[in-house]
């Protein structure tokens, strides 16, 4: 069985602070895919990133960066110099190699205050 | 750009009514999904379809049915709506090609059953 845990249900920061959202996963698959989605107040889930299990290189996209560590089964997401527009619920998700279905974490609500 | 649309953003129905939620995608994706999202429970998969007229039950199919008569359209049906089906419903689609299975989501439908 697969499981994704986002232990932080809510985080509140002040604009320009850096913030890290944690994601820990469990799977028996040797090949799998990890995802992050953003859900702004409008409701739509916006795809942010996908990583393969065999690619542990960290990724940076503007103010966003992701740290994938297989040894600790974690795929953490950092926002540098946070902005009010970053306020949203962020979901981490996992998909096994052969399957089509995603297993989602419970989500982390990020509030960035001006 | 992938586009997934849902027929309604907000819907109010009465207990016992039959409810249809429609989802359309324009990317010729084989896979389509219906999720519900509830506070504290994250996203849970209701049904999944991997081809026209094909479907698989997800984690919480009870009380729901689906229809996929055309590749681009996936309908979720509540045969007799109940108050515990008040929720946010999200549709998603993805390719079935390995490496291209990222799910893209629609804007969601907030359903209130009175």
Name the CA radius of gyration of chain B, rounded.
Answer: 13
| Per-residue pLDDT tens digits for B9-24 | 999 999 999 999 999 9
Quote the Cα angle for A82-A56-A26, to 5°.
85
Contacts B96 to A, Cβ<8 Å: 100
| Residue A34, SS3 per DSSP | strand
| Per-residue pLDDT tens digits for A34-90 | 999 999 988 889 999 999 898 888 888 899 999 999 999 999 999 999 999 999 999
Q: Hey, are the CB atoms on B105 and A37 less than 8 Å from each other?
A: yes
Show which of residues 30-59 on chain B sit within 8 Å of chain A, judged by CB atoms.
31, 33, 40-43, 45, 48, 50, 58
The Cα–Cα gap between B82 and B47 comes to 18
- Return the percentage of chain A with pLDDT > 90, whole number: 76
Assess whether pLDDT exceeds 80 at residue A97: no
Task: Please tell me if residue B71 touches chain A, with a CB cutoff of 8 Å.
Answer: no
Q: Chain B: give the shortest CA distance to residue A2, in Å.
A: 13
Distance, CA of A39 to chain centre: 11
Largest interatomic CA distance in chain B: 43
| Per-residue pLDDT tens digits for B80-99 | 999 999 999 999 999 887 66
Chain A residue with the nearest C-alpha to that of B110: A43
Q: Distances from the Cα of B66 to the Cαs of A2, A99, B25, in angstroms? A: 25, 20, 16
Say if residues A86 and A110 touch (Cβ distance below 8 Å).
yes
């Amino acid at each position: 069985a697969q499981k994704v845990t986002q232990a932080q249900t809510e985080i509140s920061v002040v604009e320009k602070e850096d913030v890290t959202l944690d994601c820990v996963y469990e799977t028996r698959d040797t090949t799998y895919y990890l995802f992050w989605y953003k859900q702004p107040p409008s409701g739509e889930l916006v795809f942010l990133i996908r990583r393969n299990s065999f690619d542990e290189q960290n990724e940076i996209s503007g103010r966003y960066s992701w740290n994938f560590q297989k040894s600790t089964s974690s795929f953490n997401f950092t926002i540098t110099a946070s902005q009010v527009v970053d306020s949203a619920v962020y979901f981490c998700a996992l998909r096994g190699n052969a399957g089509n279905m995603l297993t989602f974490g419970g989500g982390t609500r990020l509030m960035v205050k001006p | 750009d992938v586009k997934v649309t849902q027929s309604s953003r907000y819907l109010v129905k009465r207990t016992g009514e039959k409810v249809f939620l429609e989802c359309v995608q324009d990317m010729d994706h084989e896979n389509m999904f219906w999720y519900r999202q509830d506070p504290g429970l994250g996203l849970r998969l209701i049904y999944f379809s991997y081809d026209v007229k094909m479907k698989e039950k997800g984690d919480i199919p009870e009380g729901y049915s689906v229809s996929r008569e055309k590749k681009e359209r996936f309908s979720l049906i509540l045969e007799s709506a109940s108050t515990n089906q008040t929720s946010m419903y999200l549709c998603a689609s993805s390719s079935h090609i390995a490496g291209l299975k990222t799910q893209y989501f629609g804007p969601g439908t907030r359903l209130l059953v009175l």
